[in-house]
Amino acid sequence: MLISKMLPRRTLLKALGATVGLPLLDAMIPAGRGPSRAFGRTAIAPRLAVSFIYFPHGAVGDQWIPSAAGAGLELPPILAPLAPFRDQLTVISGLENKAAAAPPVHAITPATWLSCATPQVAPQPRASQTVDQIMARKLGQDTPFASIQVATEVSGGEGSADRIYGSGYVKTISVGPSAPLPMEHDPRKLFQRLFGWPIGLPGRPMGQDHDGGGQSAPPRSVLDLIRADAAALHRKLGPRDRAVLADYLANVREVERRVHAFVPAEAPGGARESSSPTRFDEHMQLMFDLIALAYQANATRVTSFMMAAEVSDQQYDFIGVPDSFHALSHHGNSPAKLARLARIQAYNTSVFAKFVGKLATLPDGDGGSLLDHSLIVYGSNMGNSNLHGHSQLPVALLGGGCGRLRGNRHVRCPEHTPLANLHVALLNAAGIPTTAFADSTGELSL
């Protein structure tokens, strides 16, 4: 069943300042141009979604790098959680980023991952624009947000800032045309940004009256506000679109419920907001789910995420590793410490794998999924963390890239191949013709 009038791709459900974007529906595809008919020539053709997922402190080399090059991946322990997605996984080894190799070892590491250019020392931040922001200019032209930058931790531990570069480059992996871009670490603020409606503060149940004020608190869910609009749309849709819409709205409600329950580990002033702060692992998973929801709602097509802060003091006691992440990264080649560090890194990959799996379940037109239409870069700007090395960087690519990416292979580059060669390839894969970027010497074959 087709509705009599095609829905615009940017159809929104609105009420009282709240705005809920919609997933791609059959009703948004021109009549006679169903999922199997010349889909790529329509204005609603699948569009690339790009994610840059960063983890600090490199990776234990022999636990990350596959033993054999070429097709047919044999995944080492840190990458093992990605086995279900092997056919859309490419592991790249041999890359180096010389721009990150500066005396303040951590201070510029994150911000140079996607720029491959050392920032200038100046009174105001001056750094080269990162790949994600170059892509955002093209891919984000018809979405509410050209890009979204998120993180889990506000900043790292002692030593993350530097007297020369300050703290501006250590807290972000995204740099705009003139300055580093802040990363949003609070899921409540991110949800409000996506849907225009604030999540209630912890300790004050939503939907109840304010004490002594006589005014009602905000509705329990943003979906309560747009219920009438959603019902009207539901009546116009065919059976398959109704199912897609129902699943999507249920996902919005579930993520909103978890965001409402979120309690930061520390308030901005450093004081505990609650005796039961949200666990770090739950925080990580929630940020991934918000990124997936942003793609599904067509809010953006470009995201970047710092899974943990550079020089992170986070303890992973929930997986039996009570050590500080950064302290453990200086393992001194101790077998016991290397084993615990690899356990953290494999755990981070397992959380990332849930995000990949989520994208694989979300339809995105032409019979494909969001994962089929994604280009995801998962990696770090440090190789051997014990030496603060910026060679042999851990890099993995996930997704189908709208048909532009091959998978199930290990690309072993010559040692010290510039990371910028990968960025040239990524820009071309995103439809941005590029022959050179930063210190590139060519284009990596994807």
Cβ atoms within 10 Å, residue 201 = 12
Nearest by Cα to 287 from 269, 276, 303, 268: 303
Residue 71 dihedral angles phi and psi, to the nearest 5°: -75, 155
Asked if CATH classification 3.40.720 holds for the domain at 24-30+39-187+280-383+395-429, the reply, yes or no, is yes
User: What is residue 180's three-state secondary structure?
Assistant: strand
Cβ atoms within 10 Å, residue 271 = 7
Beta strand 409-418 with 89-96: parallel, antiparallel or unpaired?
A: parallel
- CA atoms of 77 and 228, how far apart (whole Å): 49
pLDDT at 212: 41
pLDDT at 276: 67
Low-confidence stretches of the chain (pLDDT < 70) are 1-5, 31-45, 122-126, 156-163, 166, 200-219, 266-276
- H-helix or E-strand spanning residue 89: strand 89-96
Amino acid at 62: D
- CA atoms of 281 and 262, how far apart (whole Å): 12
Residue range 241-264, pLDDT digits in tens: 999 999 999 999 999 999 999 988
Nearest by Cα to 324 from 334, 335, 314, 336: 314
Between the two ends of the chain, the Cα-to-Cα distance in Å is: 40
pLDDT at 323: 95
pLDDT at 268: 46
Write down the pTM of the prediction. 0.90
pLDDT at 364: 87
